[in-house]
Amino acid sequence: EPIAFAQLVADVVERFKLRIEEKNIDLNLHLNEEAIIEGDSDRLEQVVSNLLDNAIRYSEENAKINISVDLSGDEVTLSLQDTGKGIPQKDLENIMDRFYRVNKSRTRIEGGVGLGLAIVKQIILKHEGDIRIHSTPGEGTVIVLTFGPLDLDKF
């Protein structure tokens, strides 16, 4: 199923509007409407929701979140950048494992079971996409998803 990815991202953002406002987060959206990907829209909404949930949850008040959907050549990318607390280097390689959370005491207060990123990874793999996480503690996190070219033979 071909999906207008910019619209999908905009719809998810709309659902998080209240939480974004509650934390007075400065949200910047840059959406290329021509970005079309192939896949399961419910699953892809779950991916964007889980990532945005993290970006909001692990950010302080007045933080900044930049989301951009870009089309470069025939690849579609989603980049989600926050100015939250970041993820220590030593945790990065395991961060997408099931039930893995940074510093249990830190996260007990913040809630969550540690499944969000594991689900994201599974869905992205199913879509033959790629996920990269860059993070600096105290500065923030950038997550970049890449989706390959549309296979027109499928339609």
The crossing angle, in degrees rounded to 10, of helices 116-126 and 41-57 is 150
Q: How far is CA 53 from the centre of its chain?
A: 8
Per partner kind, with CB cut-offs from 5 to 8 A, the member of ligand ATP, Mg ion, none near residue 141 is: ligand ATP
- Closest to 87 measured CA to CA, from 23, 134, 144, 145: 134
CA-based torsion, 93, 51, 82, 5: positive or negative: positive
Per partner kind, with CB cut-offs from 5 to 8 A, the member of Mg ion, ligand ATP, none near residue 84 is: ligand ATP
Coil, strand or helix at 68: strand
Q: Choose between 13 and 117: whose C-beta lies nearer to ligand ATP.
A: 117
- Report the site for Mg ion in 116-135 (rule: CB under 5 A): 116
Which among 24-32, 38-46, 94-102, 121-129 is the span making contact with ligand ATP, rule CB under 6 A? 94-102
Q: Choose between 38 and 44: whose C-beta lies nearer to ligand ATP.
A: 44
* 92-101: Cβ within 8 A, 24+ apart: 92/133, 92/135, 95/133, 96/120, 96/121, 96/131, 96/133
Q: Choose between 115 and 144: whose C-beta lies nearer to ligand ATP.
A: 115
CB 112 within 8 A of CB 101: yes
- Report the site for ligand ATP in 107-146 (rule: CB under 6 A): 107, 112-118, 141
Give dist(CA 8, CA 1) in Å, integer. 13
- Report the site for Mg ion in 41-80 (rule: CB under 5 A): 54
CB of residue 146 vs Mg ion: minimum separation in angstroms?
21
Contact positions toward ligand ATP, by CB under 6 A?
50, 54-55, 58, 82, 84-87, 95, 100-102, 107, 112-118, 141
Question: Which residues are at the interface with Mg ion (CB under 5 A)?
Answer: 54, 116
